[in-house]
Structure 1
Amino acid sequence: MQRIHRELLDHNDEELELELLEDGHDLDAMFDGHVNDGSEKEERRRYFSELFRLQGELVKLQSWVVKTGAKVVILFEGRDAAGKGGVIKRITQRLNPRVCRVAALPAPNDRERTQWYFQRYVSHLPAAGEIVLFDRSWYNRAGVEQVMGFCNADQYEEFFRTVPEFERMLARSGIQLIKYWFSISDQEQHLRFLSRIHDPLKQWKLSPMDLESRRRWEAYTKAKEIMLERTHIAEAPWWVVQADDKKKARLNCINHLLGQMPYEEVEHPTIELPQRERQEDYSRSPTPPELIVPQVY
Protein backbone atom coordinates (compact mmCIF):
# COMPACT_ATOMS: atom_id res chain seq x y z
CA MET A 1 0.00 0.00 0.00
CA GLN A 2 2.85 2.38 0.76
CA ARG A 3 4.31 1.65 -2.65
CA ILE A 4 1.01 2.41 -4.40
CA HIS A 5 0.68 5.61 -2.37
CA ARG A 6 4.17 6.75 -3.43
CA GLU A 7 3.46 5.98 -7.07
CA LEU A 8 0.22 7.99 -6.97
CA LEU A 9 2.00 10.93 -5.36
CA ASP A 10 4.74 10.82 -7.96
CA HIS A 11 2.20 10.70 -10.80
CA ASN A 12 0.32 13.67 -9.34
CA ASP A 13 3.53 15.61 -8.85
CA GLU A 14 4.40 15.16 -12.52
CA GLU A 15 1.18 16.94 -13.41
CA LEU A 16 1.90 19.74 -10.95
CA GLU A 17 5.44 20.49 -12.03
CA LEU A 18 4.56 22.57 -15.07
CA GLU A 19 1.94 24.59 -13.20
CA LEU A 20 3.19 25.35 -9.73
CA LEU A 21 5.44 28.35 -10.16
CA GLU A 22 4.14 29.52 -13.54
CA ASP A 23 0.81 30.51 -11.98
CA GLY A 24 2.35 31.84 -8.77
CA HIS A 25 1.20 28.98 -6.55
CA ASP A 26 2.51 28.73 -3.00
CA LEU A 27 4.24 25.40 -2.38
CA ASP A 28 3.02 25.30 1.23
CA ALA A 29 -0.59 25.88 0.23
CA MET A 30 -0.41 23.25 -2.51
CA PHE A 31 0.80 20.51 -0.17
CA ASP A 32 -0.96 21.32 3.10
CA GLY A 33 -4.29 19.92 1.96
CA HIS A 34 -2.92 16.79 0.26
CA VAL A 35 -0.45 15.21 2.67
CA ASN A 36 -1.02 14.51 6.34
CA ASP A 37 2.42 13.28 7.27
CA GLY A 38 4.72 16.23 8.01
CA SER A 39 7.98 14.57 6.90
CA GLU A 40 6.50 13.46 3.59
CA LYS A 41 5.06 16.91 2.96
CA GLU A 42 8.41 18.53 3.70
CA GLU A 43 10.21 16.05 1.44
CA ARG A 44 7.90 16.87 -1.48
CA ARG A 45 8.21 20.60 -0.86
CA ARG A 46 12.00 20.28 -0.83
CA TYR A 47 11.91 18.28 -4.06
CA PHE A 48 9.91 20.93 -5.89
CA SER A 49 12.03 23.77 -4.51
CA GLU A 50 15.25 22.09 -5.62
CA LEU A 51 13.82 21.07 -8.98
CA PHE A 52 12.79 24.63 -9.80
CA ARG A 53 16.16 25.97 -8.63
CA LEU A 54 18.05 23.48 -10.79
CA GLN A 55 15.81 24.19 -13.77
CA GLY A 56 16.66 27.86 -13.33
CA GLU A 57 20.33 26.91 -13.56
CA LEU A 58 19.59 24.87 -16.70
CA VAL A 59 18.15 28.02 -18.29
CA LYS A 60 21.42 29.81 -17.47
CA LEU A 61 23.35 26.89 -18.95
CA GLN A 62 21.26 27.14 -22.10
CA SER A 63 22.09 30.84 -22.51
CA TRP A 64 25.79 30.07 -22.01
CA VAL A 65 25.71 27.27 -24.60
CA VAL A 66 24.11 29.59 -27.15
CA LYS A 67 26.52 32.46 -26.42
CA THR A 68 29.70 30.36 -26.49
CA GLY A 69 28.66 28.05 -29.33
CA ALA A 70 29.23 24.99 -27.16
CA LYS A 71 28.21 21.57 -28.48
CA VAL A 72 26.89 19.16 -25.86
CA VAL A 73 25.76 15.53 -26.09
CA ILE A 74 24.29 13.73 -23.08
CA LEU A 75 23.57 10.00 -23.22
CA PHE A 76 21.01 8.38 -20.93
CA GLU A 77 21.26 4.62 -20.61
CA GLY A 78 19.81 2.13 -18.14
CA ARG A 79 17.37 -0.69 -17.75
CA ASP A 80 13.73 -0.34 -18.75
CA ALA A 81 11.79 1.74 -16.16
CA ALA A 82 15.04 3.09 -14.68
CA GLY A 83 13.82 6.70 -14.95
CA LYS A 84 15.72 7.97 -17.99
CA GLY A 85 12.65 9.55 -19.54
CA GLY A 86 11.72 11.22 -16.27
CA VAL A 87 14.99 13.09 -15.91
CA ILE A 88 15.04 14.00 -19.62
CA LYS A 89 11.57 15.52 -19.22
CA ARG A 90 12.71 17.61 -16.23
CA ILE A 91 15.80 18.84 -18.08
CA THR A 92 13.89 19.92 -21.16
CA GLN A 93 10.71 21.21 -19.46
CA ARG A 94 11.72 24.87 -19.41
CA LEU A 95 14.31 24.96 -22.17
CA ASN A 96 14.06 26.09 -25.78
CA PRO A 97 13.53 23.00 -28.01
CA ARG A 98 15.57 24.71 -30.72
CA VAL A 99 18.56 24.67 -28.36
CA CYS A 100 17.96 21.51 -26.33
CA ARG A 101 16.40 18.58 -28.19
CA VAL A 102 15.89 14.90 -27.56
CA ALA A 103 16.99 12.10 -29.89
CA ALA A 104 15.06 8.89 -29.24
CA LEU A 105 15.72 6.71 -32.26
CA PRO A 106 13.48 3.73 -33.12
CA ALA A 107 14.85 0.37 -34.18
CA PRO A 108 16.89 0.65 -37.40
CA ASN A 109 15.09 0.01 -40.66
CA ASP A 110 16.34 -2.33 -43.37
CA ARG A 111 18.46 0.37 -45.01
CA GLU A 112 20.00 1.55 -41.75
CA ARG A 113 21.01 -1.99 -40.87
CA THR A 114 23.35 -1.95 -43.88
CA GLN A 115 25.00 1.36 -42.89
CA TRP A 116 27.99 1.98 -40.68
CA TYR A 117 26.58 1.33 -37.22
CA PHE A 118 27.13 4.88 -35.94
CA GLN A 119 25.85 6.58 -39.10
CA ARG A 120 22.25 7.13 -38.03
CA TYR A 121 23.37 8.66 -34.75
CA VAL A 122 25.80 11.11 -36.37
CA SER A 123 22.99 13.01 -38.08
CA HIS A 124 21.58 13.91 -34.65
CA LEU A 125 24.79 15.39 -33.26
CA PRO A 126 24.66 19.07 -32.28
CA ALA A 127 25.82 22.13 -34.15
CA ALA A 128 27.28 25.08 -32.24
CA GLY A 129 24.96 26.32 -29.52
CA GLU A 130 22.98 23.10 -29.20
CA ILE A 131 22.41 20.39 -26.59
CA VAL A 132 21.27 16.92 -27.65
CA LEU A 133 19.93 14.40 -25.15
CA PHE A 134 20.01 10.80 -26.39
CA ASP A 135 17.27 8.69 -24.81
CA ARG A 136 19.24 5.51 -25.42
CA SER A 137 22.08 5.75 -27.88
CA TRP A 138 24.68 3.81 -29.82
CA TYR A 139 25.11 1.76 -26.65
CA ASN A 140 22.05 -0.25 -27.73
CA ARG A 141 24.56 -2.59 -29.33
CA ALA A 142 26.27 -3.27 -26.02
CA GLY A 143 22.94 -3.83 -24.25
CA VAL A 144 19.68 -4.84 -25.88
CA GLU A 145 21.22 -5.99 -29.17
CA GLN A 146 23.70 -8.24 -27.41
CA VAL A 147 21.21 -9.66 -24.91
CA MET A 148 18.41 -10.21 -27.43
CA GLY A 149 20.68 -11.59 -30.16
CA PHE A 150 20.15 -8.71 -32.62
CA CYS A 151 23.87 -8.57 -33.41
CA ASN A 152 26.47 -11.28 -33.88
CA ALA A 153 29.73 -11.74 -31.99
CA ASP A 154 31.82 -9.97 -34.66
CA GLN A 155 29.53 -6.92 -34.67
CA TYR A 156 29.62 -6.84 -30.88
CA GLU A 157 33.42 -6.89 -30.74
CA GLU A 158 33.70 -4.34 -33.55
CA PHE A 159 31.49 -2.00 -31.54
CA PHE A 160 33.89 -2.11 -28.60
CA ARG A 161 36.87 -1.53 -30.90
CA THR A 162 35.18 1.43 -32.56
CA VAL A 163 33.27 3.26 -29.83
CA PRO A 164 36.28 4.61 -27.88
CA GLU A 165 37.76 6.07 -31.08
CA PHE A 166 34.36 7.38 -32.17
CA GLU A 167 33.90 9.19 -28.87
CA ARG A 168 37.45 10.55 -28.92
CA MET A 169 36.71 11.93 -32.40
CA LEU A 170 33.65 13.68 -30.99
CA ALA A 171 35.75 15.17 -28.21
CA ARG A 172 38.42 16.36 -30.65
CA SER A 173 35.71 18.00 -32.77
CA GLY A 174 34.66 20.09 -29.79
CA ILE A 175 31.65 18.08 -28.62
CA GLN A 176 31.35 17.55 -24.88
CA LEU A 177 30.03 14.04 -24.29
CA ILE A 178 28.49 13.08 -20.94
CA LYS A 179 27.25 9.52 -20.32
CA TYR A 180 24.80 8.49 -17.58
CA TRP A 181 23.78 5.01 -16.54
CA PHE A 182 20.62 4.88 -14.42
CA SER A 183 20.94 2.01 -11.96
CA ILE A 184 17.93 0.40 -10.30
CA SER A 185 17.56 -2.75 -8.24
CA ASP A 186 15.84 -5.95 -9.31
CA GLN A 187 13.00 -5.35 -6.85
CA GLU A 188 12.48 -1.73 -7.92
CA GLN A 189 12.18 -2.62 -11.60
CA HIS A 190 9.72 -5.36 -10.68
CA LEU A 191 7.55 -2.87 -8.77
CA ARG A 192 7.69 -0.27 -11.55
CA PHE A 193 6.65 -2.83 -14.14
CA LEU A 194 3.70 -3.86 -11.96
CA SER A 195 2.74 -0.21 -11.60
CA ARG A 196 2.72 0.22 -15.37
CA ILE A 197 0.69 -2.95 -15.90
CA HIS A 198 -2.06 -1.69 -13.59
CA ASP A 199 -2.05 1.96 -14.74
CA PRO A 200 -3.96 2.51 -18.02
CA LEU A 201 -2.08 5.79 -18.55
CA LYS A 202 1.29 4.04 -18.41
CA GLN A 203 0.62 0.71 -20.11
CA TRP A 204 1.94 2.12 -23.39
CA LYS A 205 5.38 2.24 -21.77
CA LEU A 206 5.52 -1.56 -21.63
CA SER A 207 6.52 -3.31 -24.83
CA PRO A 208 7.07 -7.04 -25.39
CA MET A 209 10.79 -6.23 -25.43
CA ASP A 210 10.52 -4.66 -21.98
CA LEU A 211 8.83 -7.75 -20.60
CA GLU A 212 11.46 -10.01 -22.15
CA SER A 213 14.22 -7.84 -20.66
CA ARG A 214 12.71 -8.49 -17.24
CA ARG A 215 13.17 -12.22 -17.73
CA ARG A 216 16.79 -11.69 -18.82
CA TRP A 217 17.78 -9.50 -15.86
CA GLU A 218 21.06 -11.33 -15.24
CA ALA A 219 22.12 -11.19 -18.90
CA TYR A 220 21.52 -7.43 -18.90
CA THR A 221 23.58 -7.10 -15.73
CA LYS A 222 26.52 -8.89 -17.32
CA ALA A 223 26.22 -6.83 -20.51
CA LYS A 224 26.13 -3.60 -18.50
CA GLU A 225 29.23 -4.53 -16.52
CA ILE A 226 31.17 -5.32 -19.71
CA MET A 227 29.98 -2.09 -21.34
CA LEU A 228 31.04 0.11 -18.44
CA GLU A 229 34.42 -1.60 -18.20
CA ARG A 230 35.26 -1.40 -21.91
CA THR A 231 33.90 2.07 -22.74
CA HIS A 232 34.81 4.15 -19.68
CA ILE A 233 37.41 6.50 -21.20
CA ALA A 234 38.95 9.75 -19.99
CA GLU A 235 37.39 11.76 -22.81
CA ALA A 236 33.90 10.41 -22.05
CA PRO A 237 33.62 8.67 -18.68
CA TRP A 238 30.52 6.93 -17.41
CA TRP A 239 28.56 8.33 -14.47
CA VAL A 240 26.20 6.03 -12.55
CA VAL A 241 22.99 7.50 -11.09
CA GLN A 242 21.44 5.57 -8.20
CA ALA A 243 17.84 5.60 -9.37
CA ASP A 244 15.69 3.55 -6.99
CA ASP A 245 14.29 6.86 -5.71
CA LYS A 246 13.00 8.65 -8.82
CA LYS A 247 12.97 12.16 -7.44
CA LYS A 248 16.39 12.00 -5.82
CA ALA A 249 17.78 10.51 -9.04
CA ARG A 250 16.42 13.43 -11.08
CA LEU A 251 17.87 16.04 -8.75
CA ASN A 252 21.21 14.30 -8.40
CA CYS A 253 21.59 13.84 -12.15
CA ILE A 254 20.70 17.45 -13.01
CA ASN A 255 22.95 18.77 -10.26
CA HIS A 256 25.84 16.64 -11.51
CA LEU A 257 25.20 17.64 -15.11
CA LEU A 258 25.42 21.32 -14.21
CA GLY A 259 28.70 20.61 -12.44
CA GLN A 260 30.20 19.19 -15.64
CA MET A 261 29.81 22.52 -17.47
CA PRO A 262 31.95 25.65 -16.94
CA TYR A 263 28.89 27.82 -17.59
CA GLU A 264 28.43 31.37 -16.36
CA GLU A 265 25.37 33.54 -16.18
CA VAL A 266 24.93 35.50 -19.40
CA GLU A 267 23.79 39.10 -19.17
CA HIS A 268 20.78 39.85 -21.33
CA PRO A 269 19.75 43.32 -22.49
CA THR A 270 16.72 44.83 -20.80
CA ILE A 271 13.58 43.96 -22.72
CA GLU A 272 11.13 46.75 -23.41
CA LEU A 273 7.72 46.06 -24.89
CA PRO A 274 7.19 48.32 -27.92
CA GLN A 275 4.04 50.36 -28.27
CA ARG A 276 1.49 48.84 -30.59
CA GLU A 277 0.93 50.81 -33.78
CA ARG A 278 -2.69 51.79 -34.37
CA GLN A 279 -4.12 52.73 -37.74
CA GLU A 280 -7.31 54.76 -37.96
CA ASP A 281 -8.56 52.79 -40.95
CA TYR A 282 -7.99 49.39 -39.27
CA SER A 283 -11.08 47.40 -38.36
CA ARG A 284 -10.92 43.85 -37.05
CA SER A 285 -13.20 41.43 -38.89
CA PRO A 286 -15.34 39.15 -36.70
CA THR A 287 -14.45 35.45 -36.65
CA PRO A 288 -17.06 33.30 -38.42
CA PRO A 289 -18.98 31.38 -35.73
CA GLU A 290 -18.48 28.04 -37.49
CA LEU A 291 -14.70 28.35 -36.98
CA ILE A 292 -14.85 28.79 -33.22
CA VAL A 293 -14.08 25.80 -30.98
CA PRO A 294 -17.09 25.09 -28.73
CA GLN A 295 -16.55 26.34 -25.17
CA VAL A 296 -17.36 23.10 -23.38
CA TYR A 297 -15.29 24.11 -20.33
Structure 2
Amino acid sequence: MAKTTKQAMESHPGGEGKLSHKKYLKELFNLHVELVKLQEWVVTTGCKICIIFEGRDGAGKGGTIKAITERVSPRVFRVVALPAPTEREKSQMFIQRYIQYLPAAGEVVIFDRSWYNRAGVERVMGFCNEQAVAKFLEAVPLVEEAIADSGIILIKYWLEVSPEEQTRRLKARIDDGRKTWKLSGMDLKSYSRWYDYSRARDEMFLATDTDLAPWYVANSNIKRRARLNIISHLLSKIPYEALPPKKVKLPERQKAAGYQDPHYPYKYVPEQF
Protein backbone atom coordinates (compact mmCIF):
# COMPACT_ATOMS: atom_id res chain seq x y z
CA MET A 1 0.00 0.00 0.00
CA ALA A 2 1.30 3.42 -0.93
CA LYS A 3 1.93 6.22 1.56
CA THR A 4 -0.94 8.44 2.58
CA THR A 5 -1.41 11.51 0.42
CA LYS A 6 -0.11 13.76 3.17
CA GLN A 7 3.02 11.65 3.59
CA ALA A 8 3.56 11.56 -0.17
CA MET A 9 3.35 15.32 -0.43
CA GLU A 10 5.68 15.83 2.54
CA SER A 11 8.32 13.46 1.16
CA HIS A 12 7.93 14.78 -2.40
CA PRO A 13 7.24 18.51 -2.01
CA GLY A 14 7.56 19.18 -5.74
CA GLY A 15 9.96 22.11 -5.48
CA GLU A 16 9.59 25.50 -3.90
CA GLY A 17 8.10 28.54 -5.59
CA LYS A 18 6.84 29.09 -9.10
CA LEU A 19 8.71 27.93 -12.17
CA SER A 20 9.63 30.71 -14.60
CA HIS A 21 7.62 30.74 -17.81
CA LYS A 22 10.80 30.53 -19.91
CA LYS A 23 12.11 27.51 -17.99
CA TYR A 24 8.70 25.86 -18.11
CA LEU A 25 8.38 26.25 -21.89
CA LYS A 26 11.89 24.90 -22.44
CA GLU A 27 11.25 21.78 -20.36
CA LEU A 28 7.79 21.32 -21.86
CA PHE A 29 9.22 21.54 -25.38
CA ASN A 30 11.62 18.69 -24.62
CA LEU A 31 8.82 16.59 -23.14
CA HIS A 32 6.59 17.28 -26.14
CA VAL A 33 9.33 15.94 -28.41
CA GLU A 34 9.34 12.75 -26.35
CA LEU A 35 5.55 12.52 -26.48
CA VAL A 36 5.74 12.67 -30.28
CA LYS A 37 8.28 9.84 -30.19
CA LEU A 38 5.91 7.92 -27.94
CA GLN A 39 3.08 8.55 -30.37
CA GLU A 40 5.03 7.18 -33.32
CA TRP A 41 6.00 4.12 -31.27
CA VAL A 42 2.41 3.52 -30.17
CA VAL A 43 1.11 3.69 -33.73
CA THR A 44 3.88 1.47 -35.09
CA THR A 45 3.71 -1.20 -32.39
CA GLY A 46 -0.04 -1.15 -31.80
CA CYS A 47 0.45 -0.45 -28.12
CA LYS A 48 -2.65 0.42 -26.06
CA ILE A 49 -2.38 2.96 -23.25
CA CYS A 50 -5.05 4.19 -20.83
CA ILE A 51 -4.32 7.10 -18.49
CA ILE A 52 -6.70 8.12 -15.71
CA PHE A 53 -6.71 11.54 -14.07
CA GLU A 54 -8.58 12.04 -10.82
CA GLY A 55 -8.51 14.74 -8.16
CA ARG A 56 -10.59 17.44 -6.55
CA ASP A 57 -12.11 20.33 -8.48
CA GLY A 58 -9.34 22.79 -9.26
CA ALA A 59 -6.54 20.26 -8.88
CA GLY A 60 -5.32 20.90 -12.43
CA LYS A 61 -6.48 17.82 -14.32
CA GLY A 62 -7.61 19.73 -17.40
CA GLY A 63 -4.44 21.80 -17.67
CA THR A 64 -2.26 18.73 -17.31
CA ILE A 65 -4.20 16.84 -19.98
CA LYS A 66 -3.93 19.84 -22.30
CA ALA A 67 -0.17 19.97 -21.73
CA ILE A 68 0.07 16.29 -22.69
CA THR A 69 -2.07 16.50 -25.81
CA GLU A 70 -1.40 19.92 -27.35
CA ARG A 71 1.41 18.71 -29.65
CA VAL A 72 0.22 15.22 -30.54
CA SER A 73 -2.52 13.90 -32.81
CA PRO A 74 -6.07 13.75 -31.41
CA ARG A 75 -6.55 10.65 -33.53
CA VAL A 76 -3.96 8.86 -31.39
CA PHE A 77 -4.35 10.66 -28.05
CA ARG A 78 -8.08 10.66 -27.30
CA VAL A 79 -9.48 12.52 -24.31
CA VAL A 80 -12.62 11.15 -22.66
CA ALA A 81 -14.57 13.48 -20.37
CA LEU A 82 -18.04 12.03 -19.93
CA PRO A 83 -21.05 14.10 -18.85
CA ALA A 84 -23.56 12.94 -16.25
CA PRO A 85 -25.04 9.56 -17.22
CA THR A 86 -28.29 9.40 -19.15
CA GLU A 87 -31.28 7.49 -17.81
CA ARG A 88 -30.35 4.60 -20.10
CA GLU A 89 -26.76 4.59 -18.85
CA LYS A 90 -27.97 4.63 -15.26
CA SER A 91 -29.72 1.33 -15.95
CA GLN A 92 -26.53 -0.30 -17.26
CA MET A 93 -23.76 -2.00 -15.34
CA PHE A 94 -21.91 0.97 -13.86
CA ILE A 95 -18.57 0.58 -15.61
CA GLN A 96 -20.19 -0.26 -18.95
CA ARG A 97 -20.23 3.35 -20.19
CA TYR A 98 -16.48 3.63 -19.64
CA ILE A 99 -15.37 0.29 -21.08
CA GLN A 100 -16.41 1.30 -24.62
CA TYR A 101 -13.83 4.11 -24.60
CA LEU A 102 -10.83 1.95 -23.74
CA PRO A 103 -8.05 2.12 -26.35
CA ALA A 104 -7.68 -0.08 -29.38
CA ALA A 105 -4.29 -0.83 -30.92
CA GLY A 106 -2.27 2.31 -31.60
CA GLU A 107 -4.27 4.55 -29.26
CA VAL A 108 -3.70 6.46 -26.05
CA VAL A 109 -6.90 7.23 -24.14
CA ILE A 110 -6.91 9.81 -21.36
CA PHE A 111 -9.82 9.87 -18.93
CA ASP A 112 -10.57 13.27 -17.40
CA ARG A 113 -12.33 11.60 -14.48
CA SER A 114 -13.23 7.98 -14.89
CA TRP A 115 -15.10 5.06 -13.36
CA TYR A 116 -13.70 6.32 -10.07
CA ASN A 117 -16.55 8.86 -10.05
CA ARG A 118 -18.42 6.22 -8.09
CA ALA A 119 -15.84 6.28 -5.32
CA GLY A 120 -15.66 10.08 -5.34
CA VAL A 121 -18.30 12.55 -6.45
CA GLU A 122 -21.16 10.05 -6.63
CA ARG A 123 -20.46 8.83 -3.13
CA VAL A 124 -19.87 12.24 -1.55
CA MET A 125 -22.85 13.88 -3.24
CA GLY A 126 -25.21 11.02 -2.45
CA PHE A 127 -25.82 9.82 -6.03
CA CYS A 128 -25.30 6.22 -4.96
CA ASN A 129 -25.60 4.32 -1.70
CA GLU A 130 -22.78 2.86 0.38
CA GLN A 131 -23.62 -0.68 -0.74
CA ALA A 132 -23.01 0.32 -4.36
CA VAL A 133 -19.72 1.96 -3.40
CA ALA A 134 -18.57 -1.14 -1.51
CA LYS A 135 -19.38 -3.39 -4.48
CA PHE A 136 -17.56 -1.00 -6.80
CA LEU A 137 -14.41 -0.89 -4.68
CA GLU A 138 -14.42 -4.67 -4.43
CA ALA A 139 -14.86 -5.14 -8.19
CA VAL A 140 -12.46 -2.49 -9.54
CA PRO A 141 -9.20 -4.41 -8.96
CA LEU A 142 -10.66 -7.36 -10.88
CA VAL A 143 -11.82 -5.12 -13.72
CA GLU A 144 -8.44 -3.42 -13.93
CA GLU A 145 -6.75 -6.81 -13.91
CA ALA A 146 -8.87 -7.77 -16.92
CA ILE A 147 -7.94 -4.46 -18.61
CA ALA A 148 -4.24 -5.16 -18.06
CA ASP A 149 -4.63 -8.77 -19.24
CA SER A 150 -6.05 -7.43 -22.51
CA GLY A 151 -2.70 -5.74 -23.17
CA ILE A 152 -3.60 -2.21 -22.08
CA ILE A 153 -1.03 -0.22 -20.10
CA LEU A 154 -3.11 1.38 -17.34
CA ILE A 155 -1.69 4.38 -15.48
CA LYS A 156 -3.64 6.20 -12.74
CA TYR A 157 -2.89 9.69 -11.43
CA TRP A 158 -4.36 11.51 -8.48
CA LEU A 159 -3.65 15.25 -8.44
CA GLU A 160 -3.50 16.53 -4.88
CA VAL A 161 -4.09 20.21 -4.16
CA SER A 162 -4.13 21.95 -0.78
CA PRO A 163 -7.33 23.52 0.62
CA GLU A 164 -5.82 27.00 0.31
CA GLU A 165 -4.76 26.57 -3.30
CA GLN A 166 -8.08 25.05 -4.28
CA THR A 167 -9.86 28.04 -2.75
CA ARG A 168 -7.63 30.45 -4.65
CA ARG A 169 -8.25 28.69 -7.96
CA LEU A 170 -12.00 28.42 -7.56
CA LYS A 171 -12.26 32.08 -6.58
CA ALA A 172 -10.23 32.98 -9.66
CA ARG A 173 -12.79 31.20 -11.84
CA ILE A 174 -15.52 33.47 -10.53
CA ASP A 175 -13.69 36.57 -11.76
CA ASP A 176 -12.27 35.19 -15.02
CA GLY A 177 -14.68 35.22 -17.94
CA ARG A 178 -12.67 32.48 -19.62
CA LYS A 179 -13.17 30.09 -16.72
CA THR A 180 -16.69 30.67 -15.44
CA TRP A 181 -17.86 27.56 -17.30
CA LYS A 182 -15.55 25.51 -15.08
CA LEU A 183 -17.49 26.44 -11.94
CA SER A 184 -20.81 24.61 -11.65
CA GLY A 185 -23.31 24.34 -8.86
CA MET A 186 -21.98 20.85 -8.20
CA ASP A 187 -18.47 22.26 -7.81
CA LEU A 188 -19.70 24.66 -5.14
CA LYS A 189 -21.44 21.88 -3.23
CA SER A 190 -18.35 19.69 -3.53
CA TYR A 191 -16.12 22.50 -2.26
CA SER A 192 -17.89 22.53 1.09
CA ARG A 193 -17.27 18.81 1.62
CA TRP A 194 -13.48 18.72 1.69
CA TYR A 195 -13.16 16.08 4.40
CA ASP A 196 -15.89 13.88 2.98
CA TYR A 197 -13.81 13.80 -0.19
CA SER A 198 -10.67 13.11 1.82
CA ARG A 199 -12.28 10.09 3.48
CA ALA A 200 -13.61 8.85 0.14
CA ARG A 201 -10.16 9.26 -1.45
CA ASP A 202 -8.47 7.38 1.38
CA GLU A 203 -10.86 4.42 1.11
CA MET A 204 -10.48 4.42 -2.67
CA PHE A 205 -6.71 4.20 -2.35
CA LEU A 206 -6.90 1.39 0.20
CA ALA A 207 -9.10 -0.68 -2.10
CA THR A 208 -7.65 0.11 -5.54
CA ASP A 209 -3.96 1.00 -5.10
CA THR A 210 -2.74 -2.39 -6.31
CA ASP A 211 0.59 -3.68 -7.56
CA LEU A 212 -0.95 -4.17 -11.00
CA ALA A 213 -2.60 -0.72 -11.18
CA PRO A 214 -1.09 1.60 -8.56
CA TRP A 215 -2.12 5.18 -7.88
CA TYR A 216 0.51 7.84 -8.50
CA VAL A 217 -0.02 11.00 -6.47
CA ALA A 218 1.19 14.33 -7.87
CA ASN A 219 1.49 17.50 -5.81
CA SER A 220 -0.38 19.98 -8.04
CA ASN A 221 -0.11 23.13 -5.92
CA ILE A 222 2.29 24.56 -8.52
CA LYS A 223 0.71 23.84 -11.88
CA ARG A 224 3.77 24.13 -14.08
CA ARG A 225 5.86 21.84 -11.92
CA ALA A 226 3.01 19.34 -11.68
CA ARG A 227 2.59 19.16 -15.45
CA LEU A 228 6.28 18.62 -16.08
CA ASN A 229 6.57 16.05 -13.30
CA ILE A 230 3.56 14.09 -14.51
CA ILE A 231 4.57 14.04 -18.17
CA SER A 232 8.11 13.01 -17.24
CA HIS A 233 6.77 10.24 -15.00
CA LEU A 234 4.30 9.09 -17.64
CA LEU A 235 7.07 8.73 -20.20
CA SER A 236 9.12 6.73 -17.70
CA LYS A 237 6.30 4.21 -17.22
CA ILE A 238 6.05 3.27 -20.91
CA PRO A 239 8.83 1.24 -22.59
CA TYR A 240 8.75 3.22 -25.83
CA GLU A 241 11.70 3.62 -28.17
CA ALA A 242 12.54 6.42 -30.58
CA LEU A 243 12.01 5.14 -34.11
CA PRO A 244 14.38 6.10 -36.94
CA PRO A 245 13.24 9.51 -38.24
CA LYS A 246 11.68 9.60 -41.69
CA LYS A 247 13.45 11.73 -44.25
CA VAL A 248 11.02 14.37 -45.45
CA LYS A 249 11.51 16.51 -48.53
CA LEU A 250 8.89 18.81 -49.97
CA PRO A 251 8.06 17.94 -53.61
CA GLU A 252 8.15 20.57 -56.30
CA ARG A 253 4.93 22.51 -56.63
CA GLN A 254 3.11 22.10 -59.94
CA LYS A 255 3.24 24.82 -62.59
CA ALA A 256 0.29 27.20 -62.92
CA ALA A 257 -0.42 25.93 -66.46
CA GLY A 258 -2.52 28.97 -67.26
CA TYR A 259 -4.39 29.15 -63.95
CA GLN A 260 -5.40 32.68 -62.87
CA ASP A 261 -6.88 33.80 -59.56
CA PRO A 262 -10.64 34.33 -60.02
CA HIS A 263 -12.29 37.70 -59.61
CA TYR A 264 -14.62 36.31 -56.97
CA PRO A 265 -16.21 38.55 -54.32
CA TYR A 266 -14.73 36.71 -51.36
CA LYS A 267 -16.23 37.61 -47.98
CA TYR A 268 -13.02 38.29 -46.13
CA VAL A 269 -12.78 38.27 -42.36
CA PRO A 270 -12.32 41.86 -41.15
CA GLU A 271 -8.72 42.48 -40.04
CA GLN A 272 -9.37 44.15 -36.71
CA PHE A 273 -6.02 43.17 -35.23
TM-score of the superposition, structure 2-length normalised? 0.90
What does 1:225-244 correspond to in 2, within 5 Å? 225-244=202-221
Q: Secondary structure at the match of 2:178?
A: coil
Give 5+ residue unaligned stretches, structure 2. Answer: 1-16
In structure 2, relative to structure 1, the CA distance for the partners of 1:66 and 1:222 (3 Å cut) is same
In structure 2, which of residues 168, 173, 194 is the aligned counterpart of residue 196 of structure 1?
A: 173
Whether 2:137 is the aligned partner of 1:160: answer yes
Whether 2:256 is the aligned partner of 1:283: answer no
Q: Is the 8 A contact 2:19 2:224 kept in 1?
A: no
Once the two structures are TM-superposed, the CA of residue 267 in structure 1 deviates from its matched residue by: 1.1
When structure 1 is superposed on structure 2, of 287-296 and 256-265 the one drifting more is: 287-296
Structure richer in helix, relative to its length: 1
In 2, the alpha carbon distance for the partners of 1:222 and 1:61 equals: 36
In structure 2, relative to structure 1, the CA distance for the partners of 1:279 and 1:184 (3 Å cut) is closer
What does 1:173-184 correspond to in 2, within 5 Å? 173-184=150-161
Give 1:294's aligned amino acid.
P
Whether 2:250 is the aligned partner of 1:273: answer yes
Once the two structures are TM-superposed, the CA of residue 287 in structure 1 deviates from its matched residue by: 5.7
In structure 2, relative to structure 1, the CA distance for the partners of 1:262 and 1:42 (3 Å cut) is closer
In structure 1, which of residues 70, 78, 94 is the aligned counterpart of residue 71 of structure 2?
A: 94
**Percentage of identical aligned residues:** 52
Q: Is the 8 A contact 2:43 2:106 kept in 1?
A: yes
In structure 1, which of residues 114, 126, 136 is the aligned counterpart of residue 91 of structure 2?
A: 114
Whether 2:231 is the aligned partner of 1:254: answer yes
Whether 2:38 is the aligned partner of 1:61: answer yes
Give 5+ residue unaligned stretches, structure 1. Answer: 1-39
In structure 1, which of residues 140, 149, 171 is the aligned counterpart of residue 148 of structure 2?
A: 171
In structure 2, relative to structure 1, the CA distance for the partners of 1:53 and 1:287 (3 Å cut) is farther
Q: Please list the CA deviations of residues 206-248 of structure 1 after superposition, one character each: whole Å capped at 9, or x if unmatched.
A: 0011111111111000000000110011111100001111111
In 1, the alpha carbon distance for the partners of 2:232 and 2:221 equals: 17
Once the two structures are TM-superposed, the CA of residue 41 in structure 1 deviates from its matched residue by: 9.7
> Which residue of the partner structure matches residue 113 of structure 2?
136
> Which residue of the partner structure matches residue 30 of structure 1?
none
> Which residue of the partner structure matches residue 294 of structure 1?
270
> Which residue of the partner structure matches residue 21 of structure 1?
none
In 1, the alpha carbon distance for the partners of 2:260 and 2:208 equals: 63
In 1, the alpha carbon distance for the partners of 2:260 and 2:85 equals: 51
Q: Is the 8 A contact 2:35 2:72 kept in 1?
A: yes
Specify which structure has the bigger relative contact order, considering alpha-carbon pairs within 8 angstroms and separated by 6 or more residues. Answer: 2
In structure 2, relative to structure 1, the CA distance for the partners of 1:153 and 1:61 (3 Å cut) is same
In 2, the alpha carbon distance for the partners of 1:279 and 1:202 equals: 48
> Which residue of the partner structure matches residue 128 of structure 2?
151
Once the two structures are TM-superposed, the CA of residue 46 in structure 1 deviates from its matched residue by: 1.7
Once the two structures are TM-superposed, the CA of residue 269 in structure 1 deviates from its matched residue by: 2.3
Displaced runs of 4 or more, over 4 A: none
> Which residue of the partner structure matches residue 73 of structure 1?
50
In structure 2, relative to structure 1, the CA distance for the partners of 1:277 and 1:51 (3 Å cut) is same
Q: Is the 8 A contact 2:161 2:220 kept in 1?
A: yes
CA RMSD of aligned residues (A): 1.8
What does 1:1-80 correspond to in 2, within 5 Å? 43-80=20-57
In 1, the alpha carbon distance for the partners of 2:224 and 2:235 equals: 17
When structure 1 is superposed on structure 2, of 172-181 and 118-127 the one drifting more is: 118-127
